[in-house]
Amino acid sequence: AGEPIQYIAGHAWFYGNKLKVSPAVLIPRPETEELVHWVLEDLKTSDIKEISILDIGTGSGCIPVILKKQLGNRIRIVGIDISPEALSIARENASLYGVNIEFIEKDFLKQGTNGLGKFDVIISNPPYISKSLAGEEIINDLKYEPSTALYPDQDDPDIFYKKIAELTKDSFHRNSICYLEMNEFRADEIRTYFIDSGWSDVKTRKDLQGKERMLKA
Ligand code: GLN
């Protein structure tokens, strides 16, 4: 009936690891594995001793769990999400792998990163699908997944990117890095928000399907 097998099984595979999922969380996607891979490529060779990382819209916790598992005590990592139900799955995934991650309930669009401290790295796979642009077929394919994880407020597919580019400045150190998954049709606009907000070295990367899917700044 189109119900994702991961919800029926109660788990999904992500970066070689089995994670718990429920309909409260987006099923982790291969393109997000590629984003995690990019971060790991960079951080594994970085000589910073203690790296603080923020994951905005953590969902199942797939991003912080893998990063913490791979990088261990070199990193301190915080995952925020608007959904308490998602955070409870994320906490279960962290305890499944015995990794220490701080999960905090927060409405990023309203509250920004207030009170979270400063970070060297910000990562996010925010909701980026516009209902009016996506069309019925895609919306139907995604109907079992939480709409807060897929469709941003006010149907603006860029809203999270605009806020991340502007709002997080106070939460960054001078040489901090931001890694984002994005809507492949919005890559030019998203790149522009970052450049206009004063970010440098803005790069995008295609996913394995050849879609402009990731941004680093
Ligand atoms: N990549 C997902 C999809 O196309 C969407 C994830 C998201 O909105 N962050 O189904």
pLDDT single digits (tens) 107-136:
999 999 989 999 999 999 999 999 888 899
Nearest Cα to 148, choosing from 105, 195, 188, 179? Answer: 105
Over residues 2-17, mean pLDDT: 97
Cα 129 to ligand 1 centre (Å): 7
Bridge partners (DSSP) of residue 81 are 105
Between 188 and 46, name the one with better pLDDT. 188
Tell whether ligand 1 has an atom less than 6 A from the beta carbon of residue 164.
no
Which residues contact residue 137 at a Cβ distance below 8 angstroms, ignoring those fewer than 6 apart? none
Tokens of 155: 């149907």
pLDDT at 46: 84
SS3 96: helix
pLDDT at 26: 98
Ligand 1 atom closest to the CA of 26, numbered from 1: 6
Tell whether ligand 1 has an atom less than 6 A from the beta carbon of residue 128.
yes
- CA 149, CA 32: separation in Å to the nearest integer? 14
Q: Each residue of 22-41: pLDDT tens digit?
A: 999 999 999 999 999 999 99
Asked if the model's pLDDT at residue 56 lies above 80, the reply is: yes
pLDDT at 174: 75
Cα 47 to ligand 1 centre (Å): 33
pLDDT band at 208 (very low <50, low <70, confident <90, very high): very high
Cα 206 to ligand 1 centre (Å): 15
Cα 130 to ligand 1 centre (Å): 11
- CA 148, CA 61: separation in Å to the nearest integer? 15
Asked if the model's pLDDT at residue 169 lies above 80, the reply is: no
pLDDT at 132: 87
Ligand 1 atom closest to the CA of 31, numbered from 1: 1
For residue 209, give Cα distances in angstroms to 29, 139, 162: 12, 20, 25
How high is the mean pLDDT of the chain? Answer: 95
Asked if the model's pLDDT at residue 164 lies above 90, the reply is: yes
Tell whether ligand 1 has an atom less than 6 A from the beta carbon of residue 29.
yes
Select from 150, 179, 214 the residue to mutate for testing ligand 1; criterion: most ligand atoms less than 8 Å from CB. Answer: 150
Over residues 87-92, mean pLDDT: 98
